[in-house]
A and B are shown apart, each in its own frame.
Chain A
């Protein structure tokens, strides 16, 4: 009997006990300060810590893009007039250098990257373009070009990666800075791709992955706002690097190294140029016959 009573009481009281003190606590006044502290935490998230800094960053960052573009233009002019473009006397014999697949993905990536850079700059300097549907359209281009670029970039990576692993002579190439800071033409230690190109390749691959990830997060726009702020910062900093790489690549291939553009169009390089700029590859070619 006693046992049954105890069991009955426990069954009735058990939910109350299990719920703990909460269920027995009367509805009393809650400190408004406490309530607002909790609500503010939910509403403002990390704004009190990082809001001001973000505002300062975003309103002052564009100018670095301007500095970079103008600075590089100055460097290019200086290099062009002090050292001049690289010209190698050609006798007409040519060797195959870039296969059709490599050239195809290169130009696919090049066109989409050009669109990315231009549309990205259009978003940054939207005010100069008057904003509105023009820039909004270019933002769509930015998104579309990004997805197209990524496809080409993956294939470009696969096409080039086997010649991009570092070799011992790459260090020597850096010591002479690829021979670019000299008017004389001397053979520089390099394989199919020189150390500078290799560095470009790996920096571009790593940076490209981060750029795509951050860009995708900004495209989705569903991450917590604090994360979006960080992601935007990284995207803008790396964008600076992308603009730099883009302009330098453009200058080197079109203006500074005569024949570079031609080789990417036709796939053939002059044998003299290969002998001077990529001697290790030249040796390999000669061994092959």
Chain B
């Protein structure tokens, strides 16, 4: 079975935040919920680098380990999903996650947190595939449609790769070999055959 993974090539990422916007718009996420974000170092200085980060769909995911109601689970292809019908919004997963992936919408009574929301790898959720409920709670199910996740599809420099880990590792390895020094500065190194 294929193992789904994200890989962000930091030599290509230009911090355009296209992935963030694509994800937010495509899944109609409320303000305050960011399934994906871009982290930048040395901003505006030489040596600036950025990485696009979301749920890493860990094997042996800490969020699954700490969830007190067992609402988070991992599919056979490695995608980690949350069942919003079981989630109680306690926030333990956020505190256990190394990457800050779990997000919580506001808006319950007394301003309490709602059910956890995070990157689904565009694979929907436990609700019936393509159902209205799935779209409302978890967003699009592009994996079931045979498409790559929105963020990776949108990425203008193809820095963000998503899919079968073996395939994207091959693509990345080939890129690095072609690049040589490990830096893609200019067209000739980054994109030319």
Residues of chain A whose beta carbon lies under 8 Å from any beta carbon of chain B? 22, 25, 27-30, 32, 35-36, 38-39, 42-45, 47-48, 51, 54-55, 58-59, 62, 123-124, 126-127, 130-133, 135-137, 139-144, 147, 218-219, 221, 225, 228-229, 232
Chain B residues with CB under 8 A of A144: 109-110
Bitwise, B51-74 to A at CB < 8 A (1) or not (0) is 101000000001001101111000
B113 is an interface residue with CB less than 8 A from chain A: yes
Q: Are A131 and B95 in contact (CB under 8 A)?
A: no
Q: Are B99 and A43 in contact (CB under 8 A)?
A: yes
CA distance in complex: A47, B94 (Å): 11
Chain A residues with CB under 8 A of B182: 29, 32
Residue pairs across A and B with Cβ atoms less than 8 A apart, 16 shown, are A30-B49, A32-B10, A42-B39, A43-B100, A51-B96, A55-B65, A124-B68, A126-B90, A130-B69, A130-B86, A139-B88, A139-B112, A143-B112, A144-B110, A218-B91, A219-B112
Query: Interface SS of chain B: helix, strand, loop or mixed?
Result: loop
Q: Are A123 and B181 in contact (CB under 8 A)?
A: no
Chain B residues with CB under 8 A of A43: 39, 51, 53, 98-100
B22 is an interface residue with CB less than 8 A from chain A: no
Choice from B65, B89, B94 contacting A139 with Cβ under 8 Å: B89
B47 is an interface residue with CB less than 8 A from chain A: yes
Query: Interface SS of chain A: helix, strand, loop or mixed?
Result: helix
| Contact (A136, B108) CB under 8 Å given A25-B46, A30-B47 | yes
Q: How many A-B residue pairs have CB under 8 A?
A: 128
Distance between B182 CB and nearest chain A CB, rounded to angstroms: 6
CA distance in complex: A143, B88 (Å): 14
